[in-house]
Structure 1
Amino acid sequence: MSQRNTLVRSLHDVGLAAWFGGSLMGAVGLNSAAASVSSPRERLAVSSVGWKHWAPVQWAAMAAHGLGGVGLILGNTERLAAQKEGRVNTGVKLALTLAAIGTSVYSGVLGMKMGANSGEAVEGTTEPSEVTSDELASAQNQQRILQWVTPVVTLILIVLGAQQGEQQRPVPSAKASWFQRAIRR
């Protein structure tokens, strides 16, 4: 008998999609747009405003993904108990979710440090200029790498979620469907 988990699956998937998409758009779009501001002393301020407005949405997305993930685990305890690959996938997803939370939080901490120095001249959000203070340049250099880690990890989570969806399909019967027979010809 199949069991539907539409609400928790939606929380899980929509939360992850928003987390991935917002992080990627921030790194690609927002940070690039801020770098095009004509005054080098206003670039961090512009970027900081955008990230500040995104932060509550990102927290909500992370919470939705987490609640949905817990709901899916609780709704699939029997399948996970019987299916080793499902347990492995769930464990890997849990570890990567915790890593993505960590990178998101640390990125936010770096962003606050950068925002506190938003009057300094910079080349871009994650690119210091020759006159940028060492403290700000250090935060920018860390953020230049970290801004890509969260989108990469959340993308892997999306792929693992798709894999887990495939694992939930019923085991195919020995009798092939008409479509399977047609494509074998």
Structure 2
Amino acid sequence: MGETPYGAGTDGRPVRGARHRAPHRVGNEGGSESMDRTTAATIAHDVGLAAWFGGAWMGAVGLNGATIEVDDHTQRTRVANAGWFRWAPIAGACLVAHVIGAHLLGRLLPVPGRAAAAPDPRPGHSLRVLRTVLTAAAVLSTAETGLSGQRVVHGGDVPVATAVTPIAATPPAVAAAQRRLRVAQWLVPGFTGALLVVEALQRRGSR
């Protein structure tokens, strides 16, 4: 006797009331959720870094440099500080978004205490070290610009050449803060720009 299909009688006719079971399909909910998290982390990583770099670069070249056009020498730092204070919350959010995104994507080294005792032998380990160093340097440079900027603000309305350049009549404390700020303002776009280059090289190499 030959095999009888499920739901059919011995004569090959369908049996009334027989139920056909649909094949069970395994869903891909876990993969979709993982993909969504990766996409969100990538967006935070890329947009945060781009805004962090672009804002610092524009501030150093455009905002700080343009203060020389203010006629009153005592108002030049006030104009620059007003612009930076408006940008500071956005810059901070971009910094945090990038660092969190980089951590979730595995771009940075693990938190101390969670790292393995032996060095990571994978090829990407060197890039993770470089990314971690550049990110830490960019964060510290950003913090330095904020601290030096606060010192300039606390000096009040004093005569200066630009927001980051003192003159002979500038009080010593403000002049010292301006000199530190003049260096730090270029370090931020320098380190974040280097991160962009590393990211581009890695993505090109992974194609």
TM bucket (normalised to shorter chain) is 0.7 to 0.9
Structure 1 residue 6 displacement after superposition: 1.8
2: CA distance between counterparts of 1:103 and 1:67? 18
Of residues 81, 94, 100, the one that matches 1:67 is 100
Q: Following superposition, which runs of at least 4 residues in structure 1 exceed 3 angstroms of deviation?
A: none
Structure-2 residue corresponding to 1:141? 179
2: CA distance between counterparts of 1:9 and 1:164? 14
Paired residue total: 162
Of residues 77, 88, 91, the one that matches 1:58 is 91
Structure-2 residue corresponding to 1:174? none
Of residues 147, 153, 159, the one that matches 2:197 is 159
Aligned amino acid, residue 132 of structure 1: T
- Percent of aligned pairs with the same amino acid: 35
2: CA distance between counterparts of 1:72 and 1:41? 47
Aligned amino acid, residue 122 of structure 2: Q
For structure 2, list consecutive stretches of 5 or more residues without a partner in the other structure.
Answer: 1-33, 111-119
Tell whether the 8 Å contact from 1:43 to 1:118 is kept in structure 2 after alignment. no
Q: 1:154 and 1:52, CA in 2 relative to 1: closer, same or farther beyond 3 A?
A: same
Secondary structure in 2 matching 1:73: coil
Tell whether the 8 Å contact from 1:9 to 1:72 is kept in structure 2 after alignment. yes
Secondary structure in 2 matching 1:142: helix
Whose RCO is larger (CA < 8 A, sep 6+)? 1
Look at both structures and tell me which one has the larger radius of gyration over its CA atoms: 2
Of residues 138, 152, 162, the one that matches 1:100 is 138
Aligned amino acid, residue 168 of structure 1: S
Tell me whether 113-122 or 160-169 shows the greater mean CA deviation.
160-169
Structure-1 residue corresponding to 2:122? 83
Secondary structure in 2 matching 1:127: coil
Aligned amino acid, residue 35 of structure 1: I
Alpha-carbon displacement from aligned partner over 1:83-115 (angstroms, at most 9, x marks no partner): 31x111111101110110000001100001111
For structure 1, list consecutive stretches of 5 or more residues without a partner in the other structure.
Answer: 170-185
* TM-score relative to the length of structure 2: 0.74
Structure 1 residue 82 displacement after superposition: 6.9
More helix per residue: 1 or 2?
1
Secondary structure in 2 matching 1:43: helix
Of residues 67, 77, 84, the one that matches 1:34 is 67
Alpha-carbon displacement from aligned partner over 1:51-71 (angstroms, at most 9, x marks no partner): 111111110010110111011
